[in-house]
Structure 1
Amino acid sequence: MSAVPGTPRSTSSRDIRRWRRLLADEQYEATVYRRLAQRRGGEEREVLLALAEAEGRHAAHWAALIEQATGAPPRPGRPSTGLRLLALLAQRFGSVFVLALAQQAEARSSYGSEPHATAAMAADEQVHGEVVRGLAARGRARVSGTFRAAVFGANDGLVSNLALVLGVAGAGTGTQAILLTGISGLLAGALSMAAGEYVSVRSQRELIAASAPAPHSPSVVGALDVDANELALVYRARGMAEAEAERHAAEQLAALQGGQPGHGRAAAARPLSPSPGLGVPPEDDGDDVVGSAWAAAGSSFVFFASGALVPVLPFLVGLEEVAALATALVLVSLALLSTGAVVGVLSGGPLLPRGLRQLAIGLGAAAVTYLLGLAFGTTLG
């Protein structure tokens, strides 16, 4: 049996145990990428299958080391808990969250300091991290709008209604008043969020529509004077440099007039084609860019209301004031940790620090409101 690159001269039982764990980790990483590939098509599927193949080569390296050292068929060890969980998630979901977690797993590779890994394997793992980062970035781009509305809508509902409930409780009101205030805050906040989102999206669509070429513009292009080349003014007004605008306009007019120089009218007017640097193409009303205003308003209402409902739930089920407030704090804290962790996963950052940051901000705002309620309650009392 020929020596495997990276084979040590003397092998300890600790080395073999580590190789078995690395073998299992590589096998699980290959499984993760194959399962993700099953849920994708085209180029993304090919990239994921190529990653799985590369992890298989790494697994073969550790298997060969184990077989050479023990003289027996290689037996993998116990993989890391994170990779086992990742393989399970990839089988059931295959979403951008799994890719983001895989990105973090690749970033934790120990091959840079592993004496029995080859230099090529260490380089592979670094490149794999960038590949997965690129795939995760595609997924983040696809869900960015929905994700932003969901996380920020729910987070606003959690923090604002908890602060409202605690502020009223600090002022010394009864349980029924707190419940009524919480429900009122839920409805008022959700309706306000929905109205604001509707106005925002609708206004953006109107701005996009106002920037699009007028519908009658294409019909007059064929009658323009080629020598005067006034079409260049359109492109210059939209941001093109003078020389580039004149060149592009001349090409447009020449194409419309059959490539013949001089004056004349086109046999049939053709549409004014979109050009680099001109912004929104003709006939684009903004739907594909910013989406539906009604859909944005509806999703904002639902997300805010779902977050704002959490602080009110303990009061709805009939808990006494102190128990209800304590339960609301616990529920909101768990929800804030969860939303912070989701942000961490999708942004490729660590889960716990992002969750704790979200928790600190939310509870800090609630604490300030509670103290203000105490102050006002004492003053009015």
Structure 2
Amino acid sequence: MSETTAREPSARDRRRWARYLVDERAEAAVYRHLAARREGEEREILLALAEAERRHEQHWLDLLGTEPATLPRASTSTRLLGWMARRFGSIFVLALAQNAEGRSPYDDDPFATPAMRADEKIHREVVRGLAARGRRRLSGTFRAAVFGANDGLVSNLALVMGIGATGVGAQFVLFSGVAGLLAGALSMGAGEFVSVRSQRELLEATEPSNYADEVLPDLDIDANELALVYRTRGMSPEDALARARTVVETARAADRSLPYRRPDEEAPSEHEVVGGAFAAASSSFLFFASGAIIPVLPWIFGLSGWVAVVVALALVGIALMSTGAMVGLLSGGPPLRRAVRQLAIGFGAAAVTYVLGLVFGVSAG
């Protein structure tokens, strides 16, 4: 009997242990599936987590004495996590695993050891660290996708709600929605193109060049202004002078110029981080359009009046809550809270324009 127990276990306790057993077994499988899709350090970390879950599984098996003939099913969330890990192995699975590790029931269970409680809390931080790598890789693209799609959803919903509230015909609402889609998507694409192109041009202006390479042999070895170049790039006066003398001496000895860029300035260009202007513009156009088309769908399919309004609100509500939940999932926060926040912001904007549309509609009448 475990030394952590303070009383005799009941039939209810044994049922709970069996549930813990299958959950720990399923969580270990999740980490092994994720490890199979990775290499190097990440693979080793995931396999170590799987081994820790196996130890927890063994604890409950020892308390039970033997594996029960009939085991309960793992929790729905754990089974969903396992299904996703087998098929995707993405950042979303790690984000879900992080949330799952944060919901450990061992804090209040007298049969769980202090080491197991500590393990579960540490596991959450380990998974958070693994997920952070994926979040950093995904952050730029994901930000653009969420921002573009939500901008399209909210702005076009607000537009069609406001236009529809004035009492105009369904064809006019449809035309306004399509016009808003095209205008917004083109504006997003053009803005992203200008933004990325401008950033690339600024980066180009900061990169070292070979403008003065050919005159290096003619520099005075003592009054060496090349040292000033290195000082502008962050080197100390002593290191800058030593580097400048080396470059000039080498250039003279070889009777040719030696590039005066430091080795660390030969690193991959930051342009790779910024990306291409055309790619950024086209993705922003598509992300915005994918969101902006949703509020217009009811009118595209021939609906009108209150029916079209209700269907549009339902479709946009689902899309807003989905993107909000996804943001919450990836950030490690509560998905439902993020979903409701996103819904409130979108519907709040639509409500304002709808009221304005009613006012203008009444005034025009």
Q: Shift in Å at residue 49 of structure 1?
A: 1.0
Matched, 1:364 2:348: yes
Q: Deviations over 1:134-193 (max 9, x none)?
A: 111100111111111111111000000010001101111100000000001111111110
Matched, 1:73 2:73: no
Q: Shift in Å at residue 132 of structure 1?
A: 0.5
Distance in 2 (CA, whole Å) between partners of 1:284 and 1:90 is 33
Distance in 1 (CA, whole Å) between partners of 2:41 and 2:218 is 45
Aligned-partner SS, 2:110? coil
Q: Would you say the 8 A contact 1:166–1:369 is kept in 2?
A: yes
Distance in 2 (CA, whole Å) between partners of 1:10 and 1:222 is 89
1:321 corresponds in structure 2 to 305
Matched, 1:265 2:252: yes
1:58 corresponds in structure 2 to 56
Q: Would you say the 8 A contact 1:205–1:285 is kept in 2?
A: no
Q: 1:220 to 1:61 in 2, by over 3 A?
A: farther
- Select the residue among 9, 12, 18 that pairs with 1:11: 9
TM-score (normalised: structure 2):
0.93
Q: Deviations over 1:64-108 (max 9, x none)?
A: 1111xxxx4346433221111111111111111111111111111
Unaligned runs of 5+ in 1: none
Distance in 2 (CA, whole Å) between partners of 1:216 and 1:282 is 16
Q: Which range moved further: 208-217 or 155-164?
A: 208-217
Q: Percent identity?
A: 59
Q: Shift in Å at residue 255 of structure 1?
A: 4.6
Structure 2: which amino acid aligns with 1:247? E
Q: Which range moved further: 29-38 or 105-114?
A: 105-114
Q: 1:59 to 1:313 in 2, by over 3 A?
A: same
1:147 corresponds in structure 2 to 142
Normalized per residue, which structure has more helix? Answer: 2
Q: Deviations over 1:211-259 (max 9, x none)?
A: 1112324555565445334333224334x3xxx5223324423554679
- Select the residue among 170, 177, 181 that pairs with 1:186: 181
- Select the residue among 227, 238, 244 that pairs with 1:253: 244
- Select the residue among 157, 172, 178 that pairs with 1:177: 172
Distance in 2 (CA, whole Å) between partners of 1:273 and 1:146 is 32
Structure 1: which amino acid aligns with 2:259? P
2:197 corresponds in structure 1 to 202
Structure 2: which amino acid aligns with 1:288? E
Distance in 2 (CA, whole Å) between partners of 1:120 and 1:128 is 12
2:37 corresponds in structure 1 to 39
1:86 corresponds in structure 2 to 81
**What is the CA RMSD across the aligned residues, in angstroms?**
2.2
Q: 1:255 to 1:233 in 2, by over 3 A?
A: closer
Distance in 2 (CA, whole Å) between partners of 1:245 and 1:181 is 62
Q: Would you say the 8 A contact 1:27–1:56 is kept in 2?
A: yes
Distance in 2 (CA, whole Å) between partners of 1:104 and 1:283 is 37
Give the total of aligned pairs.
363
Structure 2: which amino acid aligns with 1:317? F
Q: Shift in Å at residue 285 of structure 1?
A: 5.7
Q: 1:53 to 1:205 in 2, by over 3 A?
A: same
Q: Would you say the 8 A contact 2:217–2:249 is kept in 1?
A: no
Q: Would you say the 8 A contact 2:247–2:260 is kept in 1?
A: no
Q: Deviations over 1:13-68 (max 9, x none)?
A: 1211111111111111111111111111221111111111111111111111111x
Q: 1:223 to 1:132 in 2, by over 3 A?
A: farther
Q: 1:120 to 1:250 in 2, by over 3 A?
A: farther
Q: Would you say the 8 A contact 1:213–1:282 is kept in 2?
A: no
Distance in 2 (CA, whole Å) between partners of 1:218 and 1:45 is 47
Q: Would you say the 8 A contact 1:224–1:265 is kept in 2?
A: no
Q: 1:366 to 1:227 in 2, by over 3 A?
A: same
Q: 1:104 to 1:225 in 2, by over 3 A?
A: farther
Q: Shift in Å at residue 379 of structure 1?
A: 1.8
1:113 corresponds in structure 2 to 108
Q: Would you say the 8 A contact 1:219–1:269 is kept in 2?
A: yes
Distance in 2 (CA, whole Å) between partners of 1:171 and 1:186 is 20
TM-score (normalised: structure 1):
0.89
Q: Would you say the 8 A contact 2:161–2:350 is kept in 1?
A: yes
Distance in 1 (CA, whole Å) between partners of 2:218 and 2:189 is 48
Q: 1:379 to 1:9 in 2, by over 3 A?
A: closer
Unaligned runs of 5+ in 2: none
Q: Would you say the 8 A contact 1:232–1:245 is kept in 2?
A: no
Aligned-partner SS, 2:74? coil
2:338 corresponds in structure 1 to 354
Q: Would you say the 8 A contact 1:198–1:294 is kept in 2?
A: yes
